[in-house]
Amino acid sequence: MQLKRVVILLLVLFAAGSSGVAQERSAKYVPVIDSAWQTLFEPSIEGDYINDHAVFQDPEGDWHLIGISSHHGNILREIYFAHGVTGSPDEPMRELPRLFDGYPDTKRKYAPFVFKDGDTYHLYAGPGDIRHYTSRDGYEWEFVGIAIPADWSGLRDTMVIKLENGTYLQYATDIGNKISVWESEDLYNWKNKRTAFQARFPAPVWPNGFPGSTESPFIIKYGDYYYLSVCLTNYPLYLNSYNNTIILRSKDPCEFGVFTAGTKKQTAEHVTTLKCHCAEYIRDENGQWYITSGGWLGFPAHKGKKQGTAAVARLRWEKESP
């Protein structure tokens, strides 16, 4: 009889623990900037600003930033990426020689994203055709080819995640104030394009959908939900939109709905808005989250960010009240 009671008690405790884990995973969270902004990377040799960028950790544990740059804000000379490295996201980066300047990819280069799969780093970048590079160490890169052929010149700002079933999804800023998504089984061949998100007026969008206001998409899986970060901007039509990063939430990584700045036609679940531009999100080996912010030279810089720099701040996930 005593043994039976112990078994029942253990079963009850296990069920309660399992229920608690399930409730924790199904909880909803809000990302909150949790420190002052500080300069992460301020190039001076290969350029004088950092706009859209990628941040990743190499096999030795150092953190790299690869991003859009040129001299004096000359966007026509954005044909390479600036490159910085540091031992910790809390410490400023030292500048390294530029990357991807020349043959065989001599076109303009926007908004790189780096995804690590096994022992290989995959870098994707636009605008136009989405190009694909690979590396084993984050320093030396090889041009692979065109990952996604573009049907318009402004396709850009890619981001890649891997689902639990092994499928990869790649997101990009697309025409029509949309974010499109493709799927792949191997990171080289992409198919099944569809719309994952769209913004519509009165949100800060471009009236004709060109060049696309849904910039810098970034997806984070937290608990049972996917969180989509989008820099929604039509600057200079709406002057306050340059540092306007909205956070949306969905259980479906391919469907985040339509955002209309809170009107009745909105189907997207808006979580919060963060004052930053072209945000990237990183999580270090200790579980600490960070958020970054960049921007073109001469464009509005938010409070705490120095013009021409990539800035970083700590981030925490705050559970919503029931």
Domains belonging to the chain, first-starting first, are 30-319 (2.115.10.20)
Contact present, 99 and 80 (Cβ < 8 Å): yes
**Cα separation, 151 vs 156, whole angstroms:** 12
Q: Which two tokens stand for residue 66?
A: 């690869």
Q: What is the pLDDT of residue 1?
A: 53
Q: How many residues appear in the chain?
A: 322
Q: Tell whether the model's pLDDT for residue 265 goes beyond 50.
A: yes
- Arithmetic mean of pLDDT, 75-96: 97
Query: What pLDDT score was predicted for residue 20?
Result: 53
15-19, 81-85, 131-135: segment of lowest average pLDDT: 15-19
Closest-CA residue to 205 (of 232, 228, 181, 179): 232
Which pLDDT band, with edges at 50, 70 and 90, does 11 fall under? very low
Q: Is the pLDDT of residue 96 over 70?
A: yes
pLDDT at 49: 97
Are 174 and 193 within 8 A, CB to CB? no
Rounded CA gap, 204 and 264, in Å?
16
Amino acid identity of 249?
R
Supply the pLDDT for residue 97: 97
Average pLDDT over every residue of 298-306 = 95
Neighbours of 99 (CB within 10 A): 22
**Per-residue confidence (pLDDT) for residue 209, from 0 to 100:** 82
What distance in Å separates the CA atoms of residue 54 and residue 65, rounded to the nearest whole number? 6
pLDDT the model gives residue 13: 46
| pLDDT recorded at residue 310 | 98
Report the alpha-carbon distance of residue 3 to residue 6 in Å, rounded: 5
One-letter amino acid at 138 equals G
Mode of pairing for the β-strands spanning 38-41 and 310-319: antiparallel
pLDDT (tens digit per residue) in 97-134: 999 998 889 999 999 999 999 999 999 999 999 999 99
- The pLDDT assigned to 4 comes to 57
Residue 96: how many CB atoms within 10 A of its CB?
A: 17
| Beta carbons of 56 and 63 less than 8 angstroms apart | yes
Q: Does position 311 have pLDDT exceeding 70, yes or no?
A: yes
Please state the rounded mean pLDDT for residues 232-255. 97
What confidence score (pLDDT) does residue 12 get?
Answer: 46
Phi-psi sector, 64: left (phi>0), alpha (psi -120 to 50), beta = beta
Per-residue confidence band for 26, with pLDDT thresholds at 50, 70 and 90: confident
Q: What's at 239, amino acid-wise? A: L
Bond before 104 cis per omega within 30 degrees: yes
User: Which residue, among 136, 124, 120, has the nearest Cα to 100 in the 3D structure?
Assistant: 124
Q: What distance in Å separates the CA atoms of residue 215 and residue 242, rounded to the nearest whole number?
A: 10
* pLDDT tens digits along 176-218: 999 999 999 999 999 999 999 999 999 999 998 888 999 999 9
Query: Sorting pLDDT into bands at 50, 70 and 90, what band is 18?
Result: very low
Grade residue 233 by pLDDT with cuts at 50, 70 and 90.
very high
Q: Find out whether 274 and 31 touch, Cβ atoms under 8 Å.
A: yes
Q: How far is it, in rounded angstroms, from Cα 254 to Cα 50?
A: 29
**Average pLDDT of the chain, as a whole number:** 93
Helix/strand/coil (H, E, C) string of 20-86? HHHHHHHCCEEEEECCCCEEEECCCCCCCCCCCEEEEECCCCCEEEEEECCCCCCHHHCCCEEEEEE
Q: Is the Cα torsion angle 115, 290, 270, 199 positive or negative in sign?
A: negative
